[in-house]
C-alpha cells in the first residue's frame, strides 16, 4: 500500500459491531467480564482502548513500523523512551532541540543519574567522540527547531548500530509524508501528534512507533505502568487528522517554498532558514532523506533588531502569533521572547536564535494571502 492510501486505510478495519467506517469513540474506562479474566481483549482503558488501538495501528502503518503507542503528549512519549534507561546511562542528543525535550532531559532525568551530551550533529561523525560504554541512546531531531538544521539519519544509524545503541528520531517537523526514519535505520520514531499528525490545533498528544517486538513490549510495559495515555476522544480526532495528512503536507510544502522564496528575495530580510535552498548546509542530505522540504521556515531581519521582529509579528493578520506548529492555519513565533526566552541570550545566540529570528509554521491557506500578509507586516 502506498503512503497516500495508508493515511486513510493503513492498519484500519471496519468496526465489527455495525461496520462503521470510522472507529467508534469507546468512551469507557472498563469492560465487562463474564468470569474473572473472561473478556474480549479489553480489561481497562489505561492498558488498552479500541479507539486508541485503532490510532496506534494507523501510526504504525504510516511510519512503516509494526507497533504504535499513543501518549497524552509528545513529552509523555519522550518520557517513556527515557524510562528504558537506568542511572549511569548516557544519551547523545541533538544540541538545538525542542525546548521541552531539553527541559525534560536536563531538569528531570539528569536528577535521576542520566547524563546527556548535547552535540551539533550537522556532521554526523561529531557524534562518535561523545560515545562511551555507557551510551544507550542517541536522540535526533531533524529538521531542528527553529534553525532547520538537517541531520543525516542513515549516517547516525550506522554509528548507533556499530556501538549497539538505540537511535530515536523526533519526526514531528517532517512527518512520515516527508521522512520515514525507521526505513533509514532508526529504532524508535517519536511524534508530537499535537502538530502535523493531528493537524488542526485541537489536541495534545504524542506517539512512538517501532519495528522490534522486544522493544515494543518494553515500551508497552512503560506506557501501561506509567500511564501517560491519551483518551478515546483525542484518539479519534488524531485518526481523523491523519486521513488528510498527505494532502495537507503537500500544500504545507508548496506554501512553505513560496514563503521561503519570497522572504529570500525581500530587501529587509537577512537570512532565511529552509532546507530546500541549495545553499542550505545540508541540502543534499535533506534531498536524499526527505521527499520534500516541509512548511517550517525561519528568518532574520537586516540589522537584527529585536523591535523590528516584534513589530513584524504584531502586524501579521493572516498568520497568528502563537506557539505550536503544524496546524492548517499559519502561525508565527518569536523564539527569543517566546519559546527560547528562558535560555540566556548568549546561549541561545550560539545556536542561531538571535533577537530578530522569526519562525513560521506555514499553513494551507491561499499562498497569495500569506505572501501579501508578510509583505504588509515587514513593510
Ligand atoms: C511540540 C514538540 C514536542 C513536544 O510535544 P507536546 O505534544 O507539546 O508534548 C516535541 N518535539 C517537537 C519537535 C515539538 O515540536
CA of 180 relative to ligand 1 center, distance in Å: 18
Whether residue 271 sits in one domain with residue 200: no
Q: Whose CA is nearest to atom 1 of ligand 1?
A: 192
Whether residue 302 sits in one domain with residue 214: no
Domain at 364, CATH number: 3.90.1150.10
> Tell me, what's the pLDDT at 342?
73
Range of the domain at 366: 245-378
Instruction: Confirm whether pTM is higher than 0.95.
Output: yes
Q: Whose CA is nearest to atom 11 of ligand 1?
A: 98
Phi, psi of 72 (to 5 degrees): -70, -15
State which ligand 1 atom lies nearest to the alpha carbon of 194: 7
**Domains of the chain: total:** 2
Whether residue 203 sits in one domain with residue 306: no
Of 26, 67, 98, 102, which one is the catalytic site residue? 98
State which ligand 1 atom lies nearest to the alpha carbon of 326: 15
Pocket test for ligand 1, best of 73, 74, 102 (most atoms within 8 A of CB): 74
Q: Please identify, among 242, 269, 291, the residue that sits at the C-terminal boundary of a domain.
A: 242
Q: Please identify, among 242, 261, 286, the residue that sits at the C-terminal boundary of a domain.
A: 242
Whether residue 229 sits in one domain with residue 139: yes
> Tell me, what's the pLDDT at 234?
98
Domain at 118, CATH number: 3.40.640.10
143 Cβ inside 6 Å of ligand 1? no
> Tell me, what's the pLDDT at 348?
86
Whether residue 280 sits in one domain with residue 222: no
Whether residue 73 sits in one domain with residue 157: yes
Residue 292 falls in the annotated catalytic set? no
Whether residue 332 sits in one domain with residue 213: no
Whether residue 288 sits in one domain with residue 222: no
Whether residue 234 sits in one domain with residue 272: no
> Tell me, what's the pLDDT at 15?
85
Pocket test for ligand 1, best of 194, 241, 340 (most atoms within 8 A of CB): 194
Q: Please identify, among 242, 270, 285, the residue that sits at the C-terminal boundary of a domain.
A: 242
Contact in structure between 360 and 332 (CB atoms under 8 Å):
yes
Alpha-carbon distance 335 to 190, whole Å?
23
State which ligand 1 atom lies nearest to the alpha carbon of 172: 13
Whether residue 230 sits in one domain with residue 167: yes
Alpha-carbon distance 57 to 239, whole Å?
10
C-alpha cell at 90: 548516557
Whether residue 207 sits in one domain with residue 309: no
Residue 18 falls in the annotated catalytic set? no
> Tell me, what's the pLDDT at 318?
98
Whether residue 253 sits in one domain with residue 237: no
Per-residue pLDDT tens digits of the chain, which is 379 residues long: 999 999 999 999 988 889 999 999 999 999 999 999 999 999 999 999 999 999 999 999 999 999 999 999 999 999 999 999 999 999 999 988 888 999 999 999 999 999 999 999 999 999 999 999 999 999 999 999 899 999 999 999 999 999 999 999 999 999 999 999 999 999 999 999 999 999 999 999 999 999 999 999 999 999 999 999 999 999 999 999 999 999 999 999 999 999 999 999 999 999 999 999 999 999 999 999 999 999 999 999 999 999 999 999 999 999 999 999 999 999 999 999 998 887 778 878 988 999 999 999 999 999 999 999 999 999 9
Amino acid at each position: 500500500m502506498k503512503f497516500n492510501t495508508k493515511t486513510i486505510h493503513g492498519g484500519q478495519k471496519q468496526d465489527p459491531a455495525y461496520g462503521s467506517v470510522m472507529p467508534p469513540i469507546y468512551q469507557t474506562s472498563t469492560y465487562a467480564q463474564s468470569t474473572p479474566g473472561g473478556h474480549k481483549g479489553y480489561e481497562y482503558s489505561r492498558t488498552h482502548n479500541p479507539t486508541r488501538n485503532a490510532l496506534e495501528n494507523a501510526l504504525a502503518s504510516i511510519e512503516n513500523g509494526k507497533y504504535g503507542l499513543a501518549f497524552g503528549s509528545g513529552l509523555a512519549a519522550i518520557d517513556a523512551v527515557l524510562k528504558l534507561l537506568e542511572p549511569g546511562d548516557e544519551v547523545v542528543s541533538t544540541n538545538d532541540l525542542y525546548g521541552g525535550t531539553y527541559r525534560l532531559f536536563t531538569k528531570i532525568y539528569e536528577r535521576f543519574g542520566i547524563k546527556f551530551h548535547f552535540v551539533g550533529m550537522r556532521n554526523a561523525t561529531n557524534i562518535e567522540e561523545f560515545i562511551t560504554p555507557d551510551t544507550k541512546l542517541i536522540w535526533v531531531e531533524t529538521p531542528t527547531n527553529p534553525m532547520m538544521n538537517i541531520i543525516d539519519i542513515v549516517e547516525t544509524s550506522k554509528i548507533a548500530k556499530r556501538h549497539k545503541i538505540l537511535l530515536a528520531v523526533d519526526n514531528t517537523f517532517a512527518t512520515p509524508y516527508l521522512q520515514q526514519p525507521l526505513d533509514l535505520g532508526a529504532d524508535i520514531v517519536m511524534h508530537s501528534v499535537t502538530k502535523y499528525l493531528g493537524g488542526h490545533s485541537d489536541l495534545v498528544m504524542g506517539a512512538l512507533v517501532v519495528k522490534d517486538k522486544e522493544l515494543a513490549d518494553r515500551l508497552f510495559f512503560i506506557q501501561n505502568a506509567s500511564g501517560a495515555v491519551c483518551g478515546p476522544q483525542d484518539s479519534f480526532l488524531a485518526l481523523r487528522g491523519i486521513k488528510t495528512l498527505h494532502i495537507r503536507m503537500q500544500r504545507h510544502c508548496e506554501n512553505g517554498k513560496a514563503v521561503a522564496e519570497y522572504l529570500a528575495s525581500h530587501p529587509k530580510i537577512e537570512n532565511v532558514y529552509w532546507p530546500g535552498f541549495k545553499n542550505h548546509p545540508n541540502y543534499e542530505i535533506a534531498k536524499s532523506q526527505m521527499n520534500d522540504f516541509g512548511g517550517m521556515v525561519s528568518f532574520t531581519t537586516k540589522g537584527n533588531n529585536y523591535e523590528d521582529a516584534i513589530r513584524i509579528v504584531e502586524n501579521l493578520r493572516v498568520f497568528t502569533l502563537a506557539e505550536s506548529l503544524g496546524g492548517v492555519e499559519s502561525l508565527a513565533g518569536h523564539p527569543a521572547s517566546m519559546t527560547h526566552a528562558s535560555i540566556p541570550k548568549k546561549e541561545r545566540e550560539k545556536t542561531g536564535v538571535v533577537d530578530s529570528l522569526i519562525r513560521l509554521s506555514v499553513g494551507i491557506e491561499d499562498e497569495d494571502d500569506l505572501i501579501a500578509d508578510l509583505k504588509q507586516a515587514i513593510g
